[in-house]
Amino acid sequence: MEVLSEHRAFGGKQGFYRHASTSCNGSMKFSLYQPPQAEAGKVPVLLYLSGLTCTEETFMIKAGAQRLASELGMMLVTCDTSPRDAAVAGESDSWDFGLAAGFYLDATQAPWSTAYNMYSYVVKELPAVLAANFPAADLDRMGLFGHSMGGHGALTIGLKHPEQFKSVSAFAPIVAPSQCPWGVKAFTGYLGADQSAWAAYDATSLVAKQQHPQTILIDQGTSDKFWVEQLKTELFVEACQKAGQAVSVNLRDGYDHGYYFISSYIDDHLRHHAGILKG
């Protein structure tokens, strides 16, 4: 692992790192905030998955999460949103598919399957890099959250791996990718036209079969221009009610899809995860 830069922040350390990734067939970057408590022992790890067009930097620059993470003694980690180094033909043709749009799945279709394996990257490869390089990262106390496409990643991966990700939350998540334009485009390209392969990466389908033992926290702005067409919170809430999954949804009046919304409610999410991981 290569250190790109490290910066003192709120008594801890904000760093940016690069490593060779087999899942993504090239080098990948991630960012990590170590709270001051990491100097004295292990701390819980909160992994954040970003949305379309974002990088490993976006959350650390815009969400304003480090101040409370420092107080609570939580490590924050954000990865990139797709492979960057694999030179897959056509990957930069659109902003909602390919580069910065990996959708946290393992692609099965050529040419994407050689590198677009963000599911394996998040579940296996990145945690192994953390274990090897950050002794203070307590991987038995990991939480997962994310925004939009990353909210979809957090919900699906959290539902599939409740033992690994003990707490789950999301800002403005895509909850039913099989039923919205972003998801249909991504799943058709990465997974193929046969929709039977899609359910494994669709939170609304998944929750009928696999529930998370903890309450899932969701915040959604009511002035989010993507809410009705792409995000469809209500489909997940209905599926949770049917399946007996505890979910707490806060509709935030007048907030849009951007990072001013996220930074307004980031503390609630950090406290949600701390309550479970440190409880």
Which residues contact ligand GSH by CB under 6 A? 51-54, 58, 62, 95, 147-149, 257-259
Is 257 an active-site residue?
yes
Distance CA 35, CA 43 (A): 8
CB of 230 to ligand GSH, least distance (A): 9
CB of 172 to ligand GSH, least distance (A): 8
Using the minimum distance from each CB to ligand GSH, give the nearer residue, 29 or 166: 29
Using the minimum distance from each CB to ligand GSH, give the nearer residue, 58 or 245: 58
Would you say the C-alpha torsion 77, 50, 190, 217 has a positive or negative sign? positive
State the catalytic residue, choosing from 148, 167, 169, 205. 148
CB of 104 to ligand GSH, least distance (A): 13
Using the minimum distance from each CB to ligand GSH, give the nearer residue, 17 or 48: 48
Non-local (6+) Cβ contacts of 256 within 8 A are: 221, 223, 224, 225
Distance CA 264, CA 258 (A): 10
State the catalytic residue, choosing from 167, 224, 269, 272. 224
Distance CA 97, CA 88 (A): 12
State the catalytic residue, choosing from 147, 257, 269, 272. 257
Is 253 an active-site residue?
no
CB of 99 to ligand GSH, least distance (A): 13
Using the minimum distance from each CB to ligand GSH, give the nearer residue, 104 or 134: 104
CB of 11 to ligand GSH, least distance (A): 26
Quote the strand ranges of the chain, DSSP E.
Answer: 2-9, 12-21, 26-34, 43-49, 75-79, 137-147, 165-171, 216-221, 247-252
Is 120 an active-site residue?
no
Gyration radius (Cα) of the chain, Å: 17
Three-class DSSP category at 159: helix
**Residue of minimal Cβ distance to ligand GSH:** 51
Non-local (6+) Cβ contacts of 2 within 8 A are: 17, 18, 19
Using the minimum distance from each CB to ligand GSH, give the nearer residue, 127 or 173: 173
Q: At 130, which amino acid appears?
A: L
Q: How many CB atoms lie within 10 A of CB 209?
A: 11
Catalytic residue numbers, as ranges: 148, 224, 257
